[in-house]
Copies of this chain bind each other. A is one copy, B any other.
Amino acid sequence: MADAALFEFLHTEMVAELWAHDSDPSPGGQKMSLSVLEGMGFRVGQALGERLPREMLAFREELDVLKFLCKDLWVAVFQKQMDSLRTNHQGTYVLQDNSFPLLVRMASGQQYLEEAPKFLAFTCGLLRGALSTLGIKSLVTASVAALPACKFQVVIQKS
* Chain A residues in the interface with B (C-beta under 8 A): 1-7, 9-11, 13-14, 17, 21, 36, 40, 43-44, 47-48, 51-52, 72-73, 75-77, 79
Contact = CB atoms under 8 A, between A and B. Distances in A.
Contact of A76 (B1, B36, B47, B73): B1
A13 B126 CA distance: 12
B3 A43 contact: no
Contact of A44 (B4, B10, B76): B10
A21 B51 CA distance: 28
User: Which of A3, A5, A40, A76: most chain B CB closer than 10 A?
Assistant: A3
B77 A6 contact: yes
A73 to B, nearest CB: 6
Given A17-B36, A36-B17, A7 B5 contact: no
Given A76-B2, A77-B6, A40 B13 contact: yes
A72 B3 CA distance: 11
